[in-house]
Structure 1
Amino acid sequence: MKIIDWYILKRFLVTFLFTLLILIPIAIAIDVSEKIDNFLEHPDLGFNEILNDYYLNFTIYYTNTFMPLALFIAVILFTSKLSNNTEIIAITNAKVSFTRFLYPYFIGATLITILSLAMNHYVVPTSSKTRKAFEKKYINNSKQINELKYVSDFSLQLTDSTYIFIRTFNTENNIGYDFNSETYDGLKLKSKLSANRLKYNVKDSTFTISTWKKRLIYKDRDSIFSGNKIDTVFSFTPRDLIYKSAFAQEMPSNELMKFIDISKKRGVKNLNAYLVELYKRTSLPVASYILTIIAVALAFRKRRGGTGVNLAIGVGIMFLYVFFMKVGEVLGSVAGVNSITYVWIPNILFGAVAVYLYLNARK
């Protein structure tokens, strides 16, 4: 690398870190103002617990969230400064093409993309478990808790031939009512287990069924057994009964992919919320390249109004990107659609904008 490449790369990364250090404290200050009443409602909640369990993981989450925005703003600010100081004129007079000028920017974008991918797929989901456990205990209201606490009229395919049905289940005390398990041979029912009450035992991962009855169906006769209480094992846990996209945020990508694969085999109809979470962990970091091209192309030429005009245009484009990203996530979560297409739509649209600006800037 030449001296000018090191110069651009170093200033680019320094500006990126500086932008992050501005955005994160603002996010923390806003969150503290919103949550301070919740903290004060719990006299047993200590400062160290708030700091270590919540705000440490809050910082990790929002650092990762703000990376594309910080990257975009940093590139615009730094490149506008180069342009205003006529440093870009000197570079272009030295016969450096626009494509070659992008070289150090792409190195910086690659470093940030790799970091963002690692955080998205592994670091952030792990830290989200602690943060969400804290929120559930001290912040979430009773309505939000109840949405995760109660499951009703739930069915699940455990294997190719076994299905379960549960009328109601409380995921807090792990007790359910009106439980049925049916095993089929093709379309023919082979056995059915019914129980008035079902309780999951966390200690040994078994289920206790009460007031149960089992029916075995043979070719020429049926056998019926019943009892008051018995311990047994099923290939599911209470967590499998709650299909909420919030849980996807707590799973590292390898665990999330395994969960999606198992759920498909169990016959769960709509897993798009989980697929959206999985796909956007890659699409958002990759957007760093697209946003870098757009930002450099916008700030490459000296404008009347200077950095302020470039920054205003850049922030407007960034908010459009975030808007399309959120719309894509919502539409991608709808049953029956191709989730990956909707998740990548913002990158496709803004990728086209980046190509146009790149070709225009080369002239």
Structure 2
Amino acid sequence: MKIIDWYILKRFLVTFLFTLLILIPIAIAIDISEKIDNFLEHVDLGFYQIVDEYYKNFIIYYANTFMPLALFIAVILFTSKLSNNTEIIAITNAKVSFTRFLYPYFIGATLITIISLGMNHFVVPMSSKERKQFEKEYISSARQKNELKRVTDFSLQLTDSTYIFIRSFNTETKSGYDFTSELYDGIQLKSKLVANRISYNDKDSTFKLSTWKLRKIYKDRDSIFSGTKIDTVFSFTPRDLIYKSALAQEMPSGELSEFIEISKKRGIKNLNAYLVELHKRTSLPVASYILTIIAVALGFRKRRGGTGVNLAIGIGIMFVYVFLMKISEVLGAVAGVNSLLYVWMPNLFFGCLAIYLYLNARK
């Protein structure tokens, strides 16, 4: 049986790579047609820079995104070909069960899952950071740039007793105005620091407050101090003020988990957009096993119409899976819901379908 295992595994992986190499150029061609005007607007933007800073990272991102789809299509194509060539009939006549027949497929799916997990958790976030920086500089509109640049009416809990409030802050210039810091002892206000302007210094990680006033509250009296300028330290940076789900895609999983934990301690109410991104990095690669079972079960039996019918059914199933995945991501980002459950919901649903098809194929 080892010869057949190697034969199936080799053909499976070759078909997978071939399918992936077909999907990537299509994605690149569509993207170029949409962004060619943006590239031509910048006369200083060279071909090498576009390829190195954008399309290199574009290929990494979409190769990882297309892996489950390419795997699903590859398994259907290859298994249907085995069935049409009556090779599966010879295998089953040799008393090989459907479960045993799945072994080489699962070895291939495991290899792809491991690669996808590594890319999702480490490689793609670093690559996305460079790609999004390029998009921000050369592709994004002025409105999109301002969404990430300016923060208004922001509050943050730094510790159990310290809270800050900022009326407006520009994350590009790293300065803002109407800043307030309050220190509490339980529910009792102990001190309040206000400043007309606040700016951040990257060199020494300090904040400069302009036209500031500090009020300290005691049992029998208050003390008020004021000044023109003062340098001080707070346990946050300008990046902490930007709570956008897009930033989660730029963080490796370790950094993202740490960011979520710190944000929880700071009292940020809705972090589900970040949790969805974190859970999705595991759920999508694991879906390779589910999609493999479904694809093998579809292509295992010879059908009237051949490979085309199986492929059409498979593409329909993939469309439903992607549709449910996108819906679950949106619903999982809503405040107050269990983001883990919503992210894994498509896998649970299609897992039940995979079990049904597996039991049916075993008969």
Q: TM-score range by the shorter chain?
A: over 0.9
- The Cα of 1:146 is off from its aligned counterpart by 1.0
The aligned counterpart of 1:185 is: 185
What is the deviation of 1:281? Answer: 0.3
> How large is the Cα RMSD of the aligned pairs?
0.6
Partner of 1:197: 197
Q: Can you list the C-alpha shifts for 1:112-141, whole angstroms capped at 9, x where unaligned?
A: 000000000000000001000000000000
**Residue 106 of structure 1 pairs with residue 106 of structure 2:** yes
CA distance in 2, matches of 1:51, 1:202: 31
Q: Deviations over 1:324-350 (max 9, x none)?
A: 000000000000000001000000000
Q: Counterparts in 2 of 1:326-341, with a 5 A limit?
A: 326-341=326-341
Q: Distance in 1 between matches of 2:350 and 2:142?
A: 41
After the TM superposition, which residues 45-64 of structure 1 pair with which residues of structure 2 at under 5 Å, given as runs?
45-64=45-64
Structure 2 counterpart of 1:164: 164
Q: Which residue of 2 aligns with 1:234?
A: 234
Q: Which residue of 2 aligns with 1:176?
A: 176
* Corresponding residue of 2:348: 348
- 2:254 maps to 254
1:82 aligned onto 2:82: yes
Offset of residue 171 of structure 1: 1.0
Return the letter of the residue paired with 2:175. Answer: I
Runs of 4+ in 1 over 4 A off after TM superposition: none
Question: After superposition, what is the alpha-carbon deviation per residue over 1:173-218, rounded to whole angstroms, capped at 9, x for unaligned?
Answer: 1111100000000000011100000011122211110000001111
Structure 1 letter corresponding to 2:109: A
* Equivalences for residues 245-284 of structure 1 within 5 A: 245-284=245-284
Instruction: Give the structure 2 partner of residue 129 of structure 1.
Output: 129
Shift of 1:172: 1.2
Query: In structure 1, what is the Cα distance between the partners aligned to 2:145 and 2:137?
Result: 9
Q: Could you say which residue in structure 1 is the equivalent of 2:43?
A: 43
Q: CA offset at residue 280 of structure 1? A: 0.4
Partner residue, 1:313: 313
Separation of aligned partners in 2, 1:204 and 1:292? 53
Structure-2-length-normalised TM-score: 0.99
Name the residue aligned to 1:67. 67
> 1 CA distance for matches of 2:219 and 2:128?
53
- Alpha-carbon distance between aligned partners in 1 of 2:143 and 2:3, rounded to the nearest angstrom: 59
> Once the 2 structures are TM-superposed, how far is the Cα of residue 149 of structure 1 from its aligned partner?
1.2
Question: How far apart are residue 357 of structure 1 and its match?
Answer: 0.2
User: Partner amino acid for 1:236?
Assistant: F
Measured against aligned partners, the alpha-carbon deviations of 1:259-279 in whole angstroms (never above 9, x if no partner) come to 000000000000000000000
Map 1:295-306 → 2, pairs under 5 A: 295-306=295-306
**Percent of aligned pairs with the same amino acid:** 83
> How far off is 1:60 after superposition?
0.1
Match in the other structure for 1:18: 18
- CA drift at 1:287: 0.2
Write the deviation string for residues 22-42 of structure 1: whole angstroms up to 9, x where unpaired. 000010011111111000000
Question: Aligned equivalents of 1:154 and 1:333: distance in 2?
Answer: 20
In the aligned structure 2, how far is the partner of 1:230 from the partner of 1:46?
A: 45
What is the TM-score normalised by the length of structure 1?
Answer: 0.99
* Shift, 1:52, TM fit: 0.4
Whole-angstrom distance in 2 between the partners of 1:304 and 1:104:
26
Aligned counterparts of 1:239 and 1:297: Cα–Cα separation in 2: 48
In structure 1, how many angstroms separate the alpha carbons of the residues matched to 2:67 and 2:203? 41
Inter-partner Cα distance in structure 2 for 1:38 and 1:319: 31
State the SS of the aligned residue for 1:8.
Answer: helix
